[in-house]
Chains A and B, each alone.
Chain A
Amino acid sequence: MSTRTTDLPRDFGFGEDHELLRDSARRFLEERCPVGEVRRVAEEAGGFDPALWKEVAELGWTGLVIPEVHGGAGLGALHLALLLEEMGRHLVPVPLLGATLAARAILVAGDAAQQARWLPGLASGELRATLAWLEADGAFEPDELSARAEPDNDGWRLSGTKAFVPGASWAELVVAPFRQADGALALFCIDLSAPGVNVAAEVGVDPTRPTGRIAFEDARVPADARLATSDESACRQVLDWGFTALAAEMVGGAEAALQLTAAYARERIQFGRPIGSFQAVKHPLVDAMIGVESARTLAYAAAAALDHAPAEAEVPARMAKAAAGDAFSFVARKSVQLHGGYGFTWDCDAQLYFKRCLWLRAVLGDAAHHRRHLAGALLGPGE
């Protein structure tokens, strides 16, 4: 991991098309996805809204970062970051995050035939795919993964467990890393109806983001399930996209929780004045804002690095994941606390962001984990 600060375009590469995307996403989600709707979908439909998925696909979001030749919009990581920020703000109950990362993996590690086979369906939203990367102990770094792939006649035999998979019960296809006998990692694109694959829905803290656990028990998959050009570097690229995407979603969630809380602090009266006038309320909200804005800077920078200097994206991407995790954790706490007794209730929306934060901050490495890696880049190996 290089510590050289990437030569980013001074404007992060931000242009009119970014602005258009964000504005249309914001308008659409404000109208279509108010928080009451998110709660309804969580309670009545298990946290997934198929009608909304169709609309999202029609808007072109499912193919946002898939090249035009495969039916996508061919846009970049900054576009995705801006979109996920808006989606994080609204806790949108569709599994776009996992689907997009699965598409990136196929793009990075699939050969032409594999790309042509899967990407158009992903772009149109008709093919339901997600990324199944983490293992049951949270491991996800290339050197930590233990799920195995062994040659089996003219195909592969997969064994191991992937957990915390967003949209697992919805997906028909997952992209997942497995270790081959020679120790090298490879990415596989797996049909979940393959023999030996078992999907179980997890009971999650966050009912607005359904996840699942997938057990591979000598699951047999064909030879071309292995993404042809996959290797550790491909895995790292997918992870950089993952860190950045999660950071962007966290920035959106943290922003929403911050705004919710600031609005309450303006309105709630105690001791004859709005509680926001007390410095004990005002100052933590300002600290929250500083955290969110710093995380936003780093998330945009990570996205710009993916767009303009992908080989150097790891440092900014890890920084963004760590900063956004810390910022969201802080905001989520304050958001409950500063709403008082009401903040402690199911009815108050603070809990929705609090729970989403628990998931987002933990998957693909929490802040402590990324700090350890960054320290390694800065100081050399420790211990």
Chain B
Amino acid sequence: MSQPIEETEPREIAEFRREVRAWIEANRPGDPGFKLPQSFLEVESDRQFEFLRAWQRKLYEAGYLGLDWPAEYGGHGREGLQRIVSQEMARARTPFMVNTIGLQWAGPTILVYGSDAQKQRMLKPILSAEEIWCQGFSEPGAGSDLASVQTRAERAGDGWTVTGHKVWTTLAQHAKWMILLARTDPDVGKYDGLSYFLFPMDAAGVTVQPLVKMSGEGGFNQVIFDASPMPGDALLGELGQGWQVAMTTLTHERGAADGSGGGSLGASEGVRQVADLATRVRRHGRPAAADPAMRERLADLWIREEALRLASLRARVPGLNPERPLALRLMNKLVFSEFAQDLADVACELEGPAATLWLGDPNAPDRAEWPRAYMNSFGMTIGGGTSEIQRNILGERVLDLPKGK
């Protein structure tokens, strides 16, 4: 049994794929000799950061990043090809793009709402990883209920001052810029009083405090603004249009917009990895791959993974989406994150008690990759809008169910 679908790609796509595959083979970074984070969410040390940043720059300089972005802003204007690169990176298990928030959330939003000056200024350094981005949406009191953000941006001469408190801010410690959702008018409805800014993280009065994750890893922070100044041209879109702009960002973040950046949401080779693990670890005196219960679970996960992978193809063929054109895209984040969580859980089960060995134990299979992945998978089912919220959105927007209060 092979995977016939890939082979029926149009010739130019298949050629491009081969070219990318060869380039990755020749240029992928070697083992850095220290622990690498599993995703952009867990970047801690400077050396991790610089290693990943150098890899992104290399990919960009080789012409494999920003493929879908217009050439005038540093891209290549080759629509639809970034996806192929993402798939090949996932397949080769290369490190990820450290500037994912810039590539996937900020960049695409700036492409839609930015002035020409903003696009000229911001986009290219996103691709080259010269300028890292973070996302300042969530606050202690406003997570799922994002429209309740309280961080204030007030007019000050030509510019603004920002006061407030953001939390769970991934990569804030390395970021040059933040996409910031702030309240500009407290006297109108909660959606209408919001505006969206491109905030310079080196402004005065900004404090970034690291937070520790359940795995003991870092990577996210709280950010406190004490009357931090921001120039007038930091506003993205119109004043009071913040909610609408933020929704565009979230659509990209959730992979619903067919990510043009270069992350790997939805492009997973995870099941093969776990299948390989199953041949290497033993369960109860025989290879885990011989255990009927594990075989069944892995086959089930393989089906789910194929459905996800092929969905990204079907989503591009309107005629094959007769019932609910938006469903596949809006489902993507929910389905992928829960799949990844189940996969990591099954990988832990497969390892048996060895899954309780942690980084630094010489007997931990694959350097404790799977218990770490299992924990970190909750970053995906919580971050970017929780699974519960995703289900609400799908129920209301796709299935047309009445809105809950």
Number of A-B pairs whose CB atoms are under 8 Å? 143
| Nearest CB of B to A81, in Å | 22
Judged by a CB distance under 8 angstroms, whether A362 is at the interface is yes
Secondary structure class of chain A's binding surface, majority of residues: mixed
The listed residue (A204, A336, A369) touching B378 by CB distance below 8 A is A336
| Residues of chain B contacted by A138 (CB below 8 angstroms) | 282-284, 352-354
CB distance from B181 to the nearest CB of A (A): 16
Please determine whether B371 and A341 come into contact, CB atoms closer than 8 angstroms: no
Beyond A351-B214, A358-B348, 20 additional contacts (C-beta under 8 Å) are: A134-B353, A138-B353, A163-B354, A203-B364, A204-B356, A205-B357, A269-B141, A271-B144, A281-B388, A340-B382, A341-B143, A345-B211, A345-B213, A345-B214, A354-B214, A359-B353, A362-B356, A366-B352, A368-B294, A372-B293
Instruction: Indicate with 1 or 0, residue by residue over A162-184, a CB within 8 angstroms of chain B CB atoms.
Output: 01100000000000000000000
Q: How near does chain B come to A271, taking the closest CB pair, in angstroms?
A: 5
Which chain A residues have a beta carbon within 8 Å of chain B's beta carbons? Answer: 134, 136-139, 141, 144, 146, 163-164, 202-206, 211, 213, 269-273, 275, 278, 280-281, 329, 333, 336-337, 340-341, 343-348, 350-351, 354, 358-359, 362-363, 366, 368-369, 371-372, 382-383
Give the CA-CA distance A203 to B360 in the complex, in Å.
6
In the complex, whether B241 has a CB less than 8 A from a CB of chain A is no
Query: Is A368's CB under 8 angstroms from B349's CB?
Result: yes
State whether A206 and B388 are in contact (beta carbons under 8 Å apart), knowing that A346-B212, A346-B213, A358-B371 are contacts in the complex. no
| Chain B residues within an 8 Å CB radius of A211 | 356
Digitize B2-19: 1 where CB-to-A-CB distance is under 8 Å, 0 elsewhere. Answer: 000000000000000000
Are A203 and B294 interface neighbours, CB within 8 A?
A: no
- Counting CB contacts under 8 A, is B116 at the interface? no
Residue B138 is within 8 A (CB to CB) of chain A in the complex: yes
Q: Is the CB of B284 within 8 A of A337?
A: no
Chain B residues contacting A368 (CB-CB under 8 Å) are: 291, 293-294, 297, 349
Give chain A residues whose Cβ lies under 8 Å from the Cβ of B301: none
Report the Cα distance A273→B357, complex, angstroms. 40
Measured CA separation A272–B145 after assembly (Å): 9
Whether B197 is near chain A, meaning CB under 8 Å from some CB there, is: no
Is B214 a contact partner of A213 (Cβ separation < 8 A)? Answer: no
Q: Which of B268-283 contact A (CB under 8 A)?
A: 281-283
Knowing A203-B358, A203-B361, A345-B213, say if A163 contacts B353 (CB, 8 Å): yes
State whether A137 touches B357 (Cβ < 8 A).
Answer: no
Given A275, A340, A358, A372, which contacts B355 in the complex, CB threshold below 8 Å? A358
Instruction: Quote the shortest CB–CB distance from A150 to chain B (angstroms).
Output: 20
Measured CB to CB, the residues of B under 8 A from A are 138, 141, 143-145, 148, 167-168, 211-214, 216, 281-285, 291-294, 297, 341, 345, 348-349, 352-361, 363-364, 368, 371, 374-375, 378-379, 381-383, 386-388, 391-392, 404-405
User: Considering only CB atoms, which chain B residue lies closest to A368 in the complex?
Assistant: B293
A272, B404: Cα distance in complex, Å:
13
- CA separation between A328 and B192, bound complex, in Å? 44
Contacts of B357 in A (CB 8 A): 202-205
Q: How far, in whole Å, are A305 and B5 apart by their CA atoms in the complex?
A: 56
Contact B213 A164 (CB under 8 A): no
Chain B neighbourhood of A270, CB < 8 A: 143-145, 148
Nearest chain B residue, comparing its CB with the CB of A329: B345
A269 vs B387: C-alpha distance when bound (angstroms): 18
Q: B residues within 8 A CB of A347?
A: 212
Q: A345: which B residues are within 8 A, CB to CB?
A: 211-214
Residues in chain A near residue B294, CB distance under 8 A: 368
Assess the B353–A354 pair: CB atoms within 8 A.
no
> Which residues of A lie under 8 Å from residue B386 when comparing CB positions?
337, 340
A213 to B285, CA, bound (A): 18
| Contact of B212 with A271 in the complex, beta carbons under 8 Å | no
Nearest chain A CB to B273 CB, angstrom units: 20
Contact of B143 among A340, A351, A354 (CB under 8 A): A340
What is the bound-complex CA distance between A281 and B392, given in angstroms? Answer: 12
Partner of A137, one of B145, B281, B297: B281
Q: Are A341 and B383 in contact (CB under 8 A)?
A: yes
A134, B355: Cα distance in complex, Å = 14
CA distance A323 to B129 in the complex (A): 49
Give bound CA distance, A383 to B352, whole Å: 22
A-B residue pairs in contact (CB < 8 Å), sample of 26: A136-B354, A138-B283, A138-B353, A146-B285, A164-B356, A203-B359, A203-B364, A205-B357, A206-B356, A270-B145, A270-B148, A336-B214, A337-B378, A337-B381, A340-B382, A340-B386, A341-B138, A341-B167, A344-B382, A345-B212, A346-B212, A354-B375, A362-B353, A362-B355, A366-B349, A369-B283
